[in-house]
Chains A and B, each alone.
Chain A
Amino acid sequence: MLPQDPSPSPLPASAFPRELFAGAYRRVAFFGGIYSNYLALDRALDLARSLKVDAVFALGDFGAFGPHPDRAVEILRGNGIVSIQGNYEEALSDAAEDCRCGYVDPRDNHYARLSFDYTAAKTAAPHKAWMGTLPRHLRMTLGDRRVLCCHGSPRRINEFLWASATSDAFLRKLLDDYQTDLLICTHTGLHWSRFLEPASGGSAGDGRPAGNGLLARHGRPARGIINVGALGRPANNGRTDVWFAIVEAGDDGTRIEFVPVAYDHARLAAEMEREGLPPEFRETILTGWWTTCLEILPAKERASGRY
């Protein structure tokens, strides 16, 4: 399908462990948490192809939340999508007790447990073994920009990087510590991006998350973060669409496009019902509002949802 290097070569083992160098690109699509939403994944792949990207990468959390976890994994593997581990893949391949999502509230953890137990029971052993072989991080270049892809943050697989809770100072430190210009992540389920001044010590970026579908242009050499959001569930904004991101090295800087994906969400909800998944999860799929895992949200992100 997509022209993509099938066998990325590892970085020297000494630099950062469990990283792969995935190659040099100009225009790339990144898929965040899929949460078993194989219907949205399928649509997103078609969309990415029609939008003429050089490659597609998946940033972990293939399972959780939705029905029939093997279906999403089979699409990824069948299409040779280069992927990294999320907390779900780490937990499933380790036979861990829970999803290591990083929630702290008892109600959040109750739903996280339902979701993990279902996914763990329904994921085939060979897929779990494959998850254990995935790298933690991917590195690549987009034009002259160095890119690091991770699941939560480069230092912790389940660290939440929210727009309103990630300071510019902290972001700069991550970019410096991990020797990259662009940091690409998921795990929160909400897409956003922010660019910093070219050199450290400058004034803050505008701090605001980029809007839905916005094409953001920034003069080079850009440094910043792109949280690609999730294909698995909507972005807590009352729309049933889910999202992925395209990042492109252009002559005028780095461009980011958040792409909404419309898919057969009614069918997904019906399948979730047949599989005995909680009605609260179906409500999210059908309304676009999050109903669970809310207590981890910072004030701003919490205030913009319905619950």
Chain B
Amino acid sequence: MPLDEASRLSGTTNIVFPDVPMLGLDTVWFQVAGSVCNLACTHCFISCSPDNHTHAMMDAAAVEIYLRESESLGVREFYFTGGEPFLNPEMIPILRAALRRGPATVLTNGTLITARRAADLKALSEDSAYSLDIRLSLDGFDAAANDAIRGPGTFVRILEAIGHLAAAGLNPVITVTEACEEAVGSAGRARLLGRLRDLGLDRPRLKVMPLLLLGAEAGRTRAYGKEETLAGTELTEADAASLQCASGRMVTAEGVYVCPILIDFPEARMGSTLAETLRPFPLRHRACHTCHVQGLNCRT
């Protein structure tokens, strides 16, 4: 066991970590593309890349089983991520199956969204009474800033994708991480919104996301320090309720994990069905500290 791993699990002797309760299965995430991505961003918290096969893709049949189970457990909404979801050849049928049961959000890097795919997504969205939200991530206002993080040529491809979605009549939520320092200030925000309007989004939607110091991001900036855990912290009811792990679970090809953030940690795998994961979870990991301190949740 590497040193870091050992210190992370050091709560076994006298350090007490708070448990997060499971309040209700509102959100079910699907690691639908596994850890395979056509990009290899330097800030990716699960280090996805074209040849990271740690997590396998899910096929439509596997997703269907969990969709049904979530429905019986009162699920409110579905999220699809990877890796890059549109590398999954069954992504459109998977979304259609989800949208029969509830609202769905896809987190994509956009580079695989062609005019044709944008039209397919629009048709899916029109066919359902539920919302289909597309979240597209961008890392800067120009090729230099974005491509330094996401790889050469990606900026232009992401803008093209936004153009295709806008032309199809879809309005993606553009997410920028705090790695894009300009996006945090209001002047930078206004500039980015202006840029999105120029691309055809007349009602641009923008969200700024905090970074997680895990995976590739730990190498780019820094890893979590030893002191940054929730050891000894008492969670108030409201604090606990705001964490993703209090109201959601992550389904992968290898079973169900506590949350989308910890799928690289075996102790975060809670079971093979959703029902068996509806129990409290100890917040031992340093990423839990970020979630708690920054109020990171799927609504932000």
Contact = CB atoms under 8 A, between A and B. Distances in A.
Interface of A: 104-106, 155, 162-170, 172-174, 176, 204, 206-209, 294-295, 298-303, 305, 307
What are the nearest 5 A-B pairs in CB distance?
A173-B74, A167-B102, A207-B129, A298-B131, A170-B76
A163 B129 contact: yes
B75 interface: yes
A213 B24 CA distance: 35
Report whether over half of chain B's contact residues are helix, strand or loop; otherwise say mixed: loop
Contact of A299 (B70, B131, B189, B299): B131
B76 A299 contact: no
Nearest to B23: A155
B300 interface: yes
Contact of A164 (B71, B75, B103, B171): B103
B69 to A, nearest CB: 11
B188 to A, nearest CB: 12
Contacts of A166: 76
Contacts of B157: none
Contact of A170 (B26, B128, B133, B169): B26
Interface string B206-238: 010000000000000000000000000000000
Contacts of A170: 26, 74-76, 102
A295 B205 contact: yes
A169 B101 contact: yes
A173 B25 CA distance: 10
Interface in B82-96: none
Interface size class of chain B, counting residues whose CB lies under 8 Å from the partner chain: 20 to 34
Contact of B131 (A164, A168, A172, A204): A164
B95 to A, nearest CB: 13
A206 B129 contact: yes
Given A207-B129, A299-B132, A165 B77 contact: yes
Given A169-B102, A170-B76, A164 B205 contact: no
A173 B24 contact: yes
A208 B74 contact: no
B24 A164 contact: no
Contacts of A165: 76-77, 103, 130-131
A172 B132 CA distance: 21
A302 B171 contact: yes
B125 interface: yes
A26 to B, nearest CB: 30
Contacts of B189: 106
Given A169-B74, A169-B101, 4 more contacts: A104-B207, A174-B74, A204-B100, A303-B171
Contacts of B299: 104
A155 B241 CA distance: 11
B76 A302 contact: no
A105 B209 CA distance: 11
B186 interface: yes
